[in-house]
Amino acid sequence: MSTVNEVEKTEAAAEASAAPVMNCAVQKAIKTWADFQVDKMCGKCHPCMMGSFEVLNILGRLEGGASSDADIRRLEIITAEMLLGSRCKKGKDVAQTLDEILKKNRDELVEHFEKGRCVHLECKPLIRYEIDADKCTMCGECLLACKFAAIAGQKRSLYASGYMPFRIRQARCTKCDACREICPEGAVTIISGGARN
C-alpha cells in the first residue's frame, strides 16, 4: 500500500508532467513571481513590499506588448534592491531568478513591446487561434470541446453540401487551447498577432 508521502509525490509528478512547457521569458517571469506570491506578503522589507505590485503591473504590460525599456529598467532596479535588501531566502531567490531572466532574455522581452510579438506564442494577448481550412475535415470535435461558443461551423454529413466552414469567433475565444488539443487533423493553429474581432 502507498504511503501518504508516496501518493503526494505521485500526484505532484503527474501535475508537473501535465503542466505545459514554458519557453517564453515573460511567462517564466510571471510564473516565478506568481509562485513567490502564493504565500501572504509579510511586509518586513521595503524593496519587496514596495516592488511587488509594481512587478505585477510591469509583467502584465510585457505580456500584453504594452511595455517599454523604462519598464525593464524598473524591473532591474527592483530585483537589484531585493537581492540586497531581502531578509528571507525566498525573497533573494525570486530576485535572483528574475534577474537571470532579464539578463539572459533581454532581446526576447523587448520584442514583446517593440514588435508586439511573443516568439514562443505563449503570451495570450499577442496570439490568436485560427482554423486552417485546408486541413479542417469538418468533423465538429472542436465545436463540442469549446466551452465558450467561440467556434462557428457546420459538421460535415454525407450527401449534403453548402456547409458553413469552421472558424473561430475571436471576440469569444479565451485561448484555452481545448480546440487545438482535440483536433485530430492539427487544423487549429496559434498565430502571432492577437485577436481580430
Query: What is the nearest approach in angstroms of ligand SF4 to the Cβ of residue 116?
Result: 20
Residue 50: all three cell numbers together:
514596495
For the record, the C-alpha cell of 21 comes out as 512547457
| Residue 96 CB contacts under 8 Å (≥ 6 apart), including other chains | 79, 83
Q: Is 176 in the site for ligand SF4 (CB under 6 A)?
A: yes
Does 103 bind ligand SF4 (CB under 6 A)? Our answer is no
Query: Pick from 54, 99, 130, 141: which binds ligand SF4 (CB under 6 A)?
Result: 141
- For residue 120, list its beta bridge partners: none
How many CB atoms sit inside 10 A of residue 33's CB? 17
Which residue of 25, 29, 126, 136 would you call a contact of ligand SF4, by CB under 6 A?
Answer: 136
Nearer CB in complex with ligand SF4: 76/108: 76
Distances in Å between the Cα of 186 and the Cα atoms of 132, 156, 159, 190 are: 9, 17, 25, 11
Cite the beta strand spans of 12-145 per DSSP E: 127-131
CA distances from 70 to 51, 61, 75, 118 (A): 15, 12, 9, 19
Nearest-CA neighbor of 102 among 26, 37, 33? Answer: 26
Q: How far is the CB of 195 from ligand SF4 (least distance, A)?
A: 10
Which residue stretch of 8-16, 65-73, 113-121, 143-151 sits at the interface with ligand SF4 (rule: CB under 6 A)?
Answer: 143-151
If one asks whether residue 58 binds ligand SF4 (CB under 6 A), the answer comes out as no
Q: Is 48 in the site for ligand SF4 (CB under 6 A)?
A: yes
Q: From CA 175, how far away is CA 142, in angstroms rounded?
A: 13
Residues in the interface with ligand SF4 (CB under 6 A) total 38
Contact 127, 116 (CB under 8 A): no
Minimum CB distance to ligand SF4 smaller for 58 or for 179:
179
- Least distance in Å: CB of 173 to ligand SF4? 3
> Under the criterion CB under 6 A, does residue 166 sit at the interface with ligand SF4?
yes
Q: Is 185 in the site for ligand SF4 (CB under 6 A)?
A: yes
Q: How far is CA 180 from the centre of its chain?
A: 15
Query: Using CB under 6 A as the criterion, which residues of the chain lie in contact with ligand SF4 when the complex forms?
Result: 42-45, 48-49, 86-88, 90-91, 129, 131, 136-142, 145-146, 148, 150-151, 166, 168, 173-179, 183, 185, 187-188
